[in-house]
Amino acid sequence: MIISVKLFSTEDSLHNENIKLLLLRFYQYSCRIAATMVESRGSMSPGEGSLEVKKTYMFGSVCSRDPLKLLTRWLILLIFLRISFTSTDPDVEGEALIQLLRGLNDCNNQISDWNNYFVTPCYSWSHVTCRNGNVISLSLASNGFSGTLSPSITKMKYLVSLKLQNKNLSGFLPDYIANITHLQNLNLAENNFNGSIPATWGQLSSLKHLILRGNRLSGSIPDAIASIAGLAELDLSSNNLIGSIPMQLFSVPTFNFTGTDLNCSSSLEQPCVSNALLPVSTNKSKVKLVITSACGAFVLLAICAIIAYRYHYIYRLKDDVFVDVSGEDESKISLGQLRRFSWRELQLTIDNFSESNIIGQGGFGKVYRGVLSDKTNVAVKRLVDYYNPSGEAAFQREVQLISVAVHRNLLCLIGFCTTSTERLLVYPFMPNLSVAYHLRDSKPGE
């Protein structure tokens, strides 16, 4: 019986070719050992060599009539075949990520290490987390992409976390996300998705965190979403959603429906927002209870001190607030003149904080030029490393103090924006820039 096996590959990488060459040499070396063992036993009769094997490959051919040779060569051959074919098979998850990146319109080549030449994305691809050779997490938050969400995302069957927030993605929320059955964390906040929430997402039985804040979603909340038993966080705020809210969603530990036209209110039965903490383990709850009990007196004193401070501050605000500036008439500015902007509004005003809109930069942060919806040109200062132990209330007090400063050479504050992580001030845009800008290049004596 003649058995012929042809091995060839034209698309293997240089690394795999080197491995094949080493295996081929080991294969030939094993053949010599087997031949030596046969010679040491003596010659064989013609009847003993009843099986002839011929292997043909790109480096030549080898024949054998000895069973030991046959077994040794076939073992090496199987290893050779495994490396040849497994190394050339395309990685499904890797191709899915490449297609996803194309759909996100990465024109600026922000992600350059996603390469088809690597066997698996688990090797060294950024923004990707793997477990047991499968992609389980993809986080591309705040990378400034645009485009749509490619259907190739469904090829990552073991995906647990998908974070694509703070981008400019558009289109409808895709139904096919429901096919990612292991998905637990889905964050598509601060994008331009429109249309309704797919009812098929109710099939995501493992989903725990669903964040769709700051999009242009419309319609009502599907009842199927309320059927997700393990849902621990639901944020649908700042959308165009309308209608009633399924009662089951009010039992979700953390939810937010503010900034919508949904039927909710400040009542205890159907509130628009819940700040409840996510459930913790029983042991942690006991420890927390003990610590809270031990520190009860201290917390009570701290609350009393805060109340006293706020009362004192409010009492002081009843007095008129003036800023004395030499050469100017004293003018009182009402705090009601300040406008509080939403994060989404300023994001659209300055083109998602594009670098091309930067007109200045200093120790407190960058200044962006933008145009409001009423065609007003503004300059938006984005503060960096801002921290105040008193939180948002302290920031608003500082804004109030800035707003009462009046002088012909000082810009009047238009408004502000504050979130849990951002602090922004909005001023009118001055096309002639600042005095410092014009003095910087002036000659001595000017």
pLDDT tens for 297-341 read 788 888 888 888 777 655 554 443 333 333 333 333 344 568 888
3-state secondary structure of 212: coil
In angstroms, rounded to a whole number, what is the distance separating the alpha carbons of residues 192 and 344?
Answer: 10
- Evaluate whether 228 touches 204 at the Cβ level (below 8 Å): yes
How far is CA 46 from each of CA 18, 50, 67, 326, rounded to the nearest angstrom? 39, 8, 14, 119
CA triplet 40, 46, 49: central angle to 5 degrees?
70
Beta strands in 233-364 (DSSP E): 233-235, 240-243, 254-256, 261-262, 339-340, 358-362
Kindly list the strands in the beta sheet with 128-131, ordered across the sheet, starting from the edge strand earlier in the chain. Answer: 128-131, 134-139, 161-163, 185-187, 209-211, 233-235, 254-256
Average pLDDT over every residue of 244-252: 91
Measured distance between the N- and C-terminal CA atoms of the chain, rounded to whole angstroms = 103
Please check whether residue 170 lies inside any domain of the structure.
yes
Side chain identity, residue 194: N
Are residue 161 and residue 287 in the same domain, yes or no?
no
Q: Which tokens go with 60?
A: 């030549």
31-45, 117-131, 141-155, 344-358: least confidently modelled range: 31-45
Q: Which residues are annotated as a binding site for ATP?
A: 381
Range list of H helices, 320-410: 343-349, 392-403
Residue appearing with tokens 């939810």 = 255
353's CB contacts (< 8 A; 6+ apart) are 347, 368, 382
Highest-pLDDT range among 151-155, 305-309, 310-314, 406-410: 151-155
Give CA–CA dist 186/194, Å, rounded.
Answer: 17
Whether residues 313 and 264 share a domain: the answer is no
For residues 328 and 408, is the Cβ–Cβ distance under 8 A?
yes
Residue carrying structure tokens 């998850």: 93
Residues 46 and 27 reside in one and the same domain: yes
What is the domain-level CATH number for residue 194? Answer: 3.80.10.10
- 416 lies in a domain? yes
Q: Are residues 358 and 393 in the same domain?
A: yes
Residues 380, 254 within the same domain: no
Q: Confidence class of residue 193 from pLDDT cuts 50, 70 and 90?
A: very high
Same domain (yes/no): 288, 251 = no
54 is written with which tokens? 């011929």
Token pair 């075949």 is at which residue?
81
Name 218's bridge partners. 240
DSSP 271: B
Does 330 map to a domain? no
Average confidence (pLDDT) over 153-171: 91
- What range defines the domain where residue 298 resides? 283-317
101, part of any domain: yes
Residues 252 and 287 in one domain: no
Structural domain contains residue 265: yes
- Residue 256's contacts (CB-CB under 8 Å, 6 or more residues apart) are 213, 234, 235, 236, 237, 272, 273, 274
Q: Which of 397, 434, 431 is nearest to 416 (CA)?
A: 397
Assess whether 140 and 232 both reside in one domain.
yes
Q: Does residue 445 sit within a domain?
A: no
Which residues, 6+ apart, have CB-to-CB distance to 154 below 8 Å?
Answer: 96, 176, 177, 179, 180
pTM score: 0.46
Pair 131, 68 in one domain: no
Residue 73 counted as domain residue? yes
Closest CA to 162 of 197, 206, 119, 192: 206
Which among 374, 375, 383, 380 has a CA at the least distance from the CA of 347?
380
Looking at the fold, whether 136 and 260 belong to one and the same domain comes out as: yes
pLDDT of residue 117: 66
| Binding-site annotation: residue ranges | 381
Question: Does residue 308 form part of some domain?
Answer: yes
More confident residue, 80 or 367: 367
Whether the predicted pLDDT of 190 surpasses 50: yes
Residue 387 belongs to domain with CATH number: 3.30.200.20
Q: What angle do CA 265, 268, 272 make, to 5 degrees?
A: 35
Q: Are residues 262 and 400 in the same domain?
A: no
Cβ contact 349:428 at 8 Å = no
Which of residues 86, 118, 147 is at a domain's end? 86
Number of structural domains (the chain) is: 4
Give pLDDT, residue 292.
73
Angle separating helix axes 296-317 and 282-294, nearest 10 degrees: 70
Does residue 367 share a domain with residue 297? no
